[in-house]
Amino acid sequence: MAMAKREKTLAVRPVPAPVPVPEAPPTPSATPVSATAPTSARSVRWGDLEDAAGGLERPLLRQRGSNTTSQMAVVGTNVCPIESLDYEIVENDVYKQDWRSRGRIQIFQYQVLKWLMALLVGSFVGLVGFFNNIAVENIAGYKLLLTSNLMRQNRNLGAFLLYMACNAVLAGSAAAICAYLAPAAAGSGIPEVKAYLNGVDAHSILAPSTLFVKIIGSILGVSAGFMLGKEGPMVHTGACVAAMLAQGGSRKYGLTWNWIRYFKNDLDRRDLITCGAAAGVTAAFRAPVGGVLFALEEATTWWRSVLLWRTFSTTAMSAIVLRSLIEYCRSGNCGLFGKGGLIMFDVSSRVTTYTATDIAAVILLGILGGLLGALFNHFVDQILRRYGVINEKGAPYKILMTVFISLVTSCCSFGLSSLSPCVPCPPELAPGKCPTIGRNGNYKKFWCPAGHYNALASLFFNTNDDAIRNLFSGGTDSEFGVYTLLTFFIGVYTLGLITYGVAVPSGLFIPVILSGASFGRLVGKIFGSGLDTGLFAIVGAASFLGGTMRMTVSVCVILLELTNDLLLLPLIMLVLLVSKTVADCFNKGVYEQIVRMKGLPFLEVHADACMRSLVASDVLSGPVITFSSVERVGSVVNTLRRTGHNGFPVIEEEPFAPAPELCGLVLRSHLIVLLNGRTFTRAPVKTGAAEVFRKLKPFDFAKVGSSGKAMEVDELRLTEEEMDMYVDLHPITNRSPYTVLENMSLAKAAVLFRDLGLRHMCVVPRTPGRPPVLGILTRHDFMPEYIRGLFENVLRE
């Protein structure tokens, strides 16, 4: 999975011989590579660019001849090209005219619409989360009821075959729709959402087809008994819902809403998708405050105070919708859907008191959770790399691997439960409560005789939510023995590893919580402290979440909202801090590892060590391709056809300027729209913005959504006469692009690039008499893999 190659964003234009200038003193770390700088600012033909190379010797860093990284990454289970998002406001005449044309009513409408969209996203995500819960509980419940009925008739082999067949069919169906309809829907989706909110765009990452497959595939996958959860995919689902609303629907599927045309830009979409991700956590865990903190701590890269309020309103609306629908289900109108209210695992009735011995046990649990969490991340990385080889062979192999993992899971859950001994029911329990027959319950009968229950079946032969509820339940210290907890922990830990990576929507939260809860209960059982083993299970779940996800604040609040036990706050905080600190000594969080492994060009908060000995000009790819401010149409078209660049410097030349100077930056998409408007002249003269707005409107320059397709240059159908005419680029040129000097530290440039949310950064000379722009830095230029591909002896972490 190659690292995303630099998003090429240069422009075409040869130039005369360079003007001699005094040599600048070298930087302390390395002599800048001037092989990337063009020899002039004047325009030339495409073929002349091959002769523009040249360079200086580098005394400290040896530059390789070429770099082998590519502009591809893995999204879901599909390899696809990667682009960057335009979070920067393009301050050209089109943008200024758009805002000048808006009155007070339209500006007020724009502000109100932001809040209305946030509330709509929360409502829709709440509905989706409710639908997921109903579907999973009913499908999985019906499957377990059929199996239990056969077991009551002593048809155990038939029950096993039915159980395995149902799981295989559900798993195969989920894999098939993922593999053929939307490969981007496979997996958790959280790494892709993190990358998108960092500025990375990929085909179909938030498309309506991905949304549909994510919902249906998640329901089928969880119902199939896989050791995975729907919580991770709900984050991706919320982001997809927000993206579809933000872009005004989908032209491809005939669903468009022109009244939200104000959101046709990446900046507004980014904020709304952040709200959608937070609403996804709320719908999955029923934790509105935890959803806001998840978006702040884990998902988004840029955070503002106004976004906090908007995200909070989104999660509040999602929680309100969920609660209203759950109240409706209390009357039994939702089939086998649970009636637990907004708190999923309410343990607030227990009195939480703990001693110094309990604190020592919690610290030990945090250390072990950090070690096992780091080990889990290591194995996930290794397994996903091997699954990637299988996934590359095509859709049939994805489906076969998914069905095989389903069979293994069914054999483990059914087989291990069969090997577990039957235990007599506690005498204080009524006959109806032990053993329980059917879909759920703490004391599953399985095929035990009357008055006995199967402890492992109470965990394995259940839905994942019910298994967590059984582990968190208090007053059941004697229900699960050491053998049961150890067997379940090893089984869940292993199945969680081999399941994540199959071609179905799959989340890591549930297997990690199950592993942590069983391990925590096991530690509590061994220590025999005064703290309830159910509370140890909650602390153990927090320990494993901190060791794998490396989240602290959001996980703490989510667990408190799940369990409704505020008295556990000090213990959860302590165990999270310990587990995260221990795990950070070995590797990164699981989502950070997956982002890197998939090849998504994620910009970290701090610059990599390899950038500290370099300057901005060291990583430029050249020669730079530029346009004149008034350019020949044929030159623009030929450049767009021959390059995949998305941004081009515009140079002001004679007769419009006494000497070549940087006029600004123009985007590829804006060039195609301008050419399609055919505002051409026969002579190279300025036409101004008024001429452009006679044929085009500001809305025509809006970016299409993730499900739409932008116009390509080959669709313009220009005549030979039009190709010889001229077009004025001033109206669509961003007159204030961000620039840095060529000798600026690459580490500082990387921090500036990330904090401003840029797609292009122009590098300009520090001495006069040289071309006005030396090149453009893009996201790929700051990737450590790319830099180490250029300089083999650069510093490493």
Q: What's residue 417's pLDDT?
A: 87
Mean pLDDT of 271-286: 94
Q: What's residue 237's pLDDT?
A: 96
| Both structure tokens of 132 | 């997921």
Confidence class for position 6, pLDDT limits 50, 70, 90? very low
Are 521 and 471 within 8 A, CB to CB? yes
Q: Which of 321-330, 507-516, 787-796 has maximum average pLDDT?
A: 507-516
Mean pLDDT of 148-153: 86
Mean pLDDT of 325-354: 67
Q: What's residue 511's pLDDT?
A: 93
Q: Is the pLDDT of residue 103 over 50?
A: yes
Mean pLDDT of 638-653: 92
C-alpha neighbours within 13 Å on the C-beta side of residue 381: 19
| Both structure tokens of 179 | 């593999």
E runs forming strands in 170-318: 200-202, 249-250, 255-256
Q: What's residue 43's pLDDT?
A: 38
Which range (95-104, 167-176, 182-191, 552-561) has the least confidence? Answer: 95-104
Mean pLDDT of 534-540: 91
Q: What's residue 708's pLDDT?
A: 58
Q: What's residue 707's pLDDT?
A: 52
pLDDT per position as a tens digit, 227-242: 998 888 999 999 999 9
Q: What's residue 419's pLDDT?
A: 85
How far is residue 780 CA from its own chain's centroid? Answer: 18
Mean pLDDT of 18-26: 38
Q: Is the pLDDT of residue 1 over 70?
A: no
Q: What's residue 442's pLDDT?
A: 67
pLDDT per position as a tens digit, 652-672: 988 888 889 999 999 999 999
Q: Is the pLDDT of residue 12 over 50?
A: no
Q: Is the pLDDT of residue 54 over 50?
A: no
Q: What percent of the chain has pLDDT over 70?
A: 84
Q: What's residue 34's pLDDT?
A: 36
C-alpha neighbours within 13 Å on the C-beta side of residue 563: 34
Q: What's residue 437's pLDDT?
A: 60
The overall average pLDDT reported for the chain is 83
Residue listed under structure tokens 């609403």: 279
Are 85 and 199 within 8 A, CB to CB? yes
C-alpha to C-alpha distance for 31 and 57, rounded to whole angstroms: 8
Q: Is 764 helix (H, G, I), strand (E, B) or coil?
A: strand
Q: What's residue 250's pLDDT?
A: 57
**Residue of 366 and 259 predicted with greater confidence:** 366
pLDDT per position as a tens digit, 669-694: 999 999 998 989 999 998 888 888 88
Q: What's residue 789's pLDDT?
A: 84
C-alpha to C-alpha distance for 763 and 761, rounded to whole angstroms: 7
